[in-house]
Structure 1
Amino acid sequence: MKTSPRNALPLMLLLGSMATAAPVTYTVISNPTLNLMTAESSTVVENIVARTPEVSGTLSFDSAAKVGSGKVTVNGASIKTGMTARDGHMRSEAWLNFDKTPAIVFETTGVKHVSGDQYDVIGNLTLNGVTRPVTSRATVKLTPASDATRAAGAKGDVLAVSTAFKVKLSDHKVTNARIPNQVSDTLAISLKFIASNK
């Protein structure tokens, strides 16, 4: 089928816009059932699992180019371990200092697509006011808006992100007499959250 010059321009504009799809901004949904950060400490004396759903932040994602960036914050003061006394001690200056510096911030410096929904992520993690580099493998899944996503509280398309990495507390100037016997110097962090573009 031949295309007339008059009809060719809209077609070219359409193809050009598809090839240069712009990144889309997604905001983490504030919902305690959708977001979760866990931190696990394992020693021969005690195993601790700390949790919080208080995750916030903004991401930029280009599904066509498979590139993105973002900045995510976890409210450290909201983390619970299952013991009230331990939670208070953890927030104190003698431990993780969340009463003074509650924000745990991860900001990307590089994202590389691996395959499928898998991405290698490089970034900076700020804990106890100290910033150190972190690398991780993340799963990033984009789901178009539907009845199911709206039922979950998302008004637009949904970006589901999950990742895991390890953090060495001494790298962030966290010191405590219970390290390394009762509490491990290395925490295993797992982070899952949902973001929407509307």
Structure 2
Amino acid sequence: MKMLTRIALATPLAIALAAPALAAPETYAIDGSHTFPRFSYNHLGFSKQLSRFNKTTGTVTFDKAAKTGSVDVTIDTTSVDTGFPTFDEHIQGADFLDTAQFPTATFKSTSVRFEGDKPVEVVGNLTLKGVTKPVTLTVTSFQAIPHPMLKKDALGANATAVIKRSDFGAGKYVPYVGDEVTLDIAIEAIKQ
């Protein structure tokens, strides 16, 4: 009986002592100076054009032990950068991004699939130009380590997806200018 009493008293203590060893989700703030959603498309069959957005904010939640995570990103669509200011204005117009009415785009994950310790797929909802559609991002690289310069935990990834711009009410000049747009996202985030 004394042995059962000791075990009964020791079990909650052992659980309490082990709790810090269990991982918990950690929140990382997106580093806007190293996070750039890029997009490319076929331009009249002549070339593949590549542009990016210069302002991105949001958070990534990551729990390595539980193999879970989430992503919540906001892109300032007025920060589109084609490399040519006149074309930036054109892309911001009503036929494409309509930034006067929709100055941001968002991506909110609904699930993250892991292989081993690393995420390989992020499924979520992309809202662009007021239209929300499911998008699956394929993670092509991922790293979660202490940042060598900031001396804080950090993570980084690259991910890709293909969407149709016509699905988001931005199909002007299809099929001459490609409907399929390849998203290529470089993201870095610092633990809070």
* Fold equivalence (TM over 0.5): yes
Aligned partners of 2:48, 2:86: CA distance in 1, in Å?
Answer: 16
Higher strand content, 1 or 2: 2
Q: Which residue of 1 aligns with 2:111?
A: 110
Q: Is contact 1:42–1:184 with CA below 8 Å preserved after alignment?
A: yes
Root-mean-square deviation (Å) = 2.3
Q: Which residue of 2 aligns with 1:36?
A: 36
Counterpart amino acid of residue 179 in structure 1: V
Q: Is contact 1:149–1:158 with CA below 8 Å preserved after alignment?
A: no
Aligned partners of 1:140, 1:97: CA distance in 2, in Å?
Answer: 33
Aligned partners of 2:70, 2:19: CA distance in 1, in Å?
Answer: 24
Counterpart amino acid of residue 144 in structure 1: P
SS of 2:19's partner is helix
Structure 2: unaligned runs, 5 residues or longer: 1-5
Aligned partners of 2:181, 2:81: CA distance in 1, in Å?
Answer: 15
CA positional deviation for 1:194: 1.1
SS of 2:87's partner is helix
Identify if the C-alpha distance between structure 1 residues 108 and 49 changes in structure 2 by more than 3 Å, giving closer, same or farther: same
Counterpart amino acid of residue 164 in structure 2: K
Question: Alpha-carbon deviations, 1:79-123, whole Å to 9, x = none?
Answer: 111222211111011222123212121100011212342422110
Aligned partners of 2:39, 2:128: CA distance in 1, in Å?
Answer: 13
Q: Is contact 2:64–2:117 with CA below 8 Å preserved after alignment?
A: no
Aligned partners of 2:88, 2:160: CA distance in 1, in Å?
Answer: 22
Q: Which residue of 1 aligns with 2:187?
A: 193
Aligned partners of 1:107, 1:159: CA distance in 2, in Å?
Answer: 18
Q: TM-score, normalised to structure 1's length?
A: 0.82
Q: Is contact 2:121–2:138 with CA below 8 Å preserved after alignment?
A: yes
Q: Which residue of 1 aligns with 2:24?
A: 22
